[in-house]
Structure 1
């Protein structure tokens, strides 16, 4: 009997060791993992509670997910831009009072300030590689965002919902927008002759348009119109002769005056100019194509192209904003429209 007891005592540590090794190399149940736009794996032990956001589509996603209480630092445009501040200020009193710390602008950020805020997650544009690398070198968890195509916009909302513990809301938003996009496409499928549209970016860049490999091109497709630009680029630059040759019958501008076209005599023969078919996506916040609000953009363009008495696009955009942000935030945003 004594011999058996000794053998069992000797075997017990081995059994414990084997049992303990069963979890070696496996992800703990509570661990959160996503892969960002740079194919970098972000791993958190729990949902992020302190977030520094340096990229607007990421910030927009946070407010749609109702996770804004987690924000501890921002980029300067949120306070300085007339296209952003009024809307975020309505949704968050900390922004209205400019209480949230500013830690960066453009492609730059003060690494010491970011680290000083002790964030468990930093959200940055994937194109800002040097900034991303510097933040990671400082030991921070960085989620790099790219939102240039429809699948990337959906990935952004999905990943940030996982990182913030708001997966249910993220899935709800994705399903809603996907369903509404399908419904809009079904509505435009019956259009026999698509209108030919030229799109121009903001701040006077009338020769900067959208190519076929871009989110705005996706918005034009959702709206059931034809993009006159055939180039496989995101934002190609053209010249006046090219635009005249394309001769679009409709022009969509982002936050600029149609007078930029109407006042130039060389454009008077273009169909869109001659027929006064130039429209403006304004305010920019509501029609940002690099967010789920691409649905608002497509809705407005569809209305301008194929308007009908029974289709009230402003009411429809209001409904979309209400679903994306929730009733309370949406009412404050809509008051600015």
Structure 2
């Protein structure tokens, strides 16, 4: 028989290990609420594309049982049940998926309803590079997957490599990056604006206007950006907007146009930030000087 003190020591070690595991599955979400899980979740629903991509980039794609309708990367998630969007997520559909954890944007209207039904929800949404790193770490903690720091390091390396390829002549040139035809722009404090800054570019939007301000169309015309970046669809109709045909960047072909799949990479603050930087650099090196 084992001495009593050895048995007690073993029990104490087991208890400490269990406590460490429990503590490891605990994060504070964007609402300031502490989200705790007793064990790594085996059934996860994501309600934001960047969260879906983060779960998969951390190697937990097999835990996903449902996503929002816009999640489409990696390709395997396209076959999963879809639970609506940010403003119209389907409570009944989510409940039917029996999730251990739902990952959602803090602005999602559905959070309170899900929590009232006993479903654990973590509200996590990135608006900057620092936010993205924080969200990656939080998701890794909640799903019990290592690799958050390695993933972030890879994003940084890819971004640095992209910045090294940007022609020196473009450094400091002012960009208008359109995220929506309203027009909404990516300001310098947004994750997109931060990537542009890492590439050495300026921005026609002042920081005090916020990360994604809605601009007066005349503001863009007056600003005369050196480079225009947008989706192919938006770029194709820009010249028809009042006064926009006078934008020198459009007339000189100093534009970066992206098909929808590539544009999605640019506007999602997740594990593909480094790829977004590469796509931007690919365009910038081809611009007429």
Name the TM-score class by shorter chain: 0.7 to 0.9
Please state how far the C-alpha of 1:252 moved relative to its aligned partner: 0.2
SS at match of 2:45: strand
Q: Counterparts in 2 of 1:235-314, with a 5 A limit?
A: 235-264=212-241, 266-282=243-259, 283=261, 284-307=263-286
1:118 matched to 2:117? The reply is no
1:71 matched to 2:47? The reply is no
Q: Who is 2:149 aligned against?
A: 171
1:194 matched to 2:179? The reply is no
Unmatched 5+ residue regions in structure 1? 1-15, 79-83, 309-337
Aligned partners of 2:137, 2:268: CA distance in 1, in Å? Answer: 17
TM-score (norm 1): 0.71
Q: 1:101 aligns with which of 77, 81, 106?
A: 81
Relative to structure 1, the CA distance from residue 102 to residue 267 in structure 2 (aligned partners, 3 Å threshold; closer, same or farther) is closer
Aligned partners of 1:57, 1:27: CA distance in 2, in Å? Answer: 31
Please state how far the C-alpha of 1:153 moved relative to its aligned partner: 1.1
Runs of 4+ in 1 over 6 A off after TM superposition: none
Checking the alignment, whether the CA contact within 8 Å between 1:52 and 1:119 is kept in structure 2 is yes
CA deviations over 1:136-165 (Å, ceiling 9, x no partner): 222221111111111111122211112222
Please state how far the C-alpha of 1:289 moved relative to its aligned partner: 3.7
TM-score (norm 2): 0.82
CA deviations over 1:222-263 (Å, ceiling 9, x no partner): 221111111431221222321121111110003524222234
Unmatched 5+ residue regions in structure 2? 1-7
Relative to structure 1, the CA distance from residue 268 to residue 190 in structure 2 (aligned partners, 3 Å threshold; closer, same or farther) is closer
Q: Who is 2:76 aligned against?
A: 91
Checking the alignment, whether the CA contact within 8 Å between 1:199 and 1:252 is kept in structure 2 is yes
Q: 1:57 aligns with which of 24, 45, 50?
A: 50
1:35 matched to 2:28? The reply is yes
CA deviations over 1:148-195 (Å, ceiling 9, x no partner): 111111122211112222213x22211111233344456669668422
Checking the alignment, whether the CA contact within 8 Å between 1:55 and 1:75 is kept in structure 2 is yes
Please state how far the C-alpha of 1:269 moved relative to its aligned partner: 3.0
Checking the alignment, whether the CA contact within 8 Å between 1:224 and 1:302 is kept in structure 2 is no
Please state how far the C-alpha of 1:196 moved relative to its aligned partner: 1.3
Q: Counterparts in 2 of 1:125-140, with a 5 A limit?
A: 125-128=105-108, 130-140=109-119
CA deviations over 1:85-111 (Å, ceiling 9, x no partner): xx54x335xx44xxx333333323333
Aligned partners of 2:242, 2:70: CA distance in 1, in Å? Answer: 36
CA deviations over 1:39-75 (Å, ceiling 9, x no partner): 2111111111111111111111112122111112222
Q: What's the Cα RMSD here?
A: 2.8
Checking the alignment, whether the CA contact within 8 Å between 1:201 and 1:209 is kept in structure 2 is yes
Aligned partners of 2:49, 2:165: CA distance in 1, in Å? Answer: 31
Q: Who is 1:46 aligned against?
A: 39
SS at match of 1:158: helix
